[in-house]
Protein backbone atom coordinates (compact mmCIF):
# COMPACT_ATOMS: atom_id res chain seq x y z
CA UNK A 1 0.00 0.00 0.00
CA UNK A 2 2.89 2.37 0.73
CA UNK A 3 4.27 2.03 -2.79
CA UNK A 4 0.90 2.94 -4.30
CA UNK A 5 0.76 6.07 -2.14
CA UNK A 6 4.28 6.99 -3.25
CA UNK A 7 3.35 6.40 -6.89
CA UNK A 8 0.22 8.58 -6.86
CA UNK A 9 1.49 11.31 -4.53
CA UNK A 10 2.99 13.44 -7.36
CA UNK A 11 -0.37 13.43 -9.20
CA UNK A 12 -2.25 14.40 -6.03
CA UNK A 13 0.23 17.23 -5.35
CA UNK A 14 -0.15 18.45 -8.94
CA UNK A 15 -3.96 18.45 -8.60
CA UNK A 16 -3.66 20.52 -5.42
CA UNK A 17 -1.36 23.00 -7.18
CA UNK A 18 -3.80 23.35 -10.09
CA UNK A 19 -6.71 23.92 -7.70
CA UNK A 20 -4.83 26.58 -5.71
CA UNK A 21 -3.86 28.46 -8.89
CA UNK A 22 -7.39 28.31 -10.28
CA UNK A 23 -8.83 29.72 -7.04
CA UNK A 24 -7.01 33.00 -7.82
CA UNK A 25 -9.45 33.63 -10.70
CA UNK A 26 -12.33 33.63 -8.18
CA UNK A 27 -14.88 31.59 -10.11
CA UNK A 28 -18.26 30.83 -8.57
CA UNK A 29 -17.66 27.13 -9.02
CA UNK A 30 -14.63 24.91 -9.62
CA UNK A 31 -14.76 21.33 -10.77
CA UNK A 32 -11.45 19.48 -10.84
CA UNK A 33 -11.37 15.88 -12.00
CA UNK A 34 -8.23 13.86 -12.25
CA UNK A 35 -7.44 10.32 -13.17
CA UNK A 36 -4.45 8.25 -12.21
CA UNK A 37 -3.15 5.15 -13.94
CA UNK A 38 -0.55 3.11 -12.08
CA UNK A 39 1.24 0.22 -13.71
CA UNK A 40 4.24 -1.85 -12.82
CA UNK A 41 6.34 -4.76 -13.92
CA UNK A 42 8.95 -6.82 -12.21
CA UNK A 43 11.39 -9.50 -13.29
CA UNK A 44 14.60 -10.89 -11.84
CA UNK A 45 16.68 -7.79 -12.59
CA UNK A 46 14.40 -4.83 -12.90
CA UNK A 47 11.41 -3.46 -11.03
CA UNK A 48 9.62 -0.70 -12.87
CA UNK A 49 6.63 1.44 -11.94
CA UNK A 50 4.91 4.11 -13.96
CA UNK A 51 2.13 6.56 -13.30
CA UNK A 52 0.10 8.70 -15.65
CA UNK A 53 -2.35 11.39 -14.69
CA UNK A 54 -4.73 13.72 -16.43
CA UNK A 55 -6.74 16.73 -15.33
CA UNK A 56 -10.04 18.23 -16.36
CA UNK A 57 -10.80 21.66 -14.93
CA UNK A 58 -14.16 23.40 -15.32
CA UNK A 59 -14.62 26.97 -14.06
CA UNK A 60 -18.04 28.60 -13.82
CA UNK A 61 -18.83 32.26 -13.35
CA UNK A 62 -22.44 33.33 -12.82
CA UNK A 63 -23.66 36.79 -13.82
CA UNK A 64 -23.90 39.26 -10.95
CA UNK A 65 -27.47 40.64 -10.93
CA UNK A 66 -26.16 43.80 -9.22
CA UNK A 67 -23.78 44.62 -12.07
CA UNK A 68 -25.29 46.12 -15.23
CA UNK A 69 -24.13 44.61 -18.49
CA UNK A 70 -23.27 46.89 -21.34
CA UNK A 71 -20.79 47.59 -24.12
CA UNK A 72 -17.17 47.50 -23.01
CA UNK A 73 -17.83 45.58 -19.83
Identify the three-state secondary structure at position 18: helix
pLDDT per residue of the chain (73 residues) written in tens, 0 to 9:
566 677 678 778 888 888 888 888 888 998 878 777 767 666 666 556 666 778 788 889 888 777 666 555 5
Q: What is the pTM of this model?
A: 0.50
Helix or strand holding residue 62 (H, E):
none
Rounded distance, CA 22 to CA 32, Å?
10
Rounded distance, CA 58 to CA 54, Å?
14
Residue 34, classified by CB atoms within 10 Å of its CB into exposed (0-12), middle (13-18) or buried (19+), is middle
Rounded distance, CA 5 to CA 7, Å?
5
Amino acid sequence: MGRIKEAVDPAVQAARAVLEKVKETRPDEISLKFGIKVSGTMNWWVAKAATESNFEVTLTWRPDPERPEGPGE
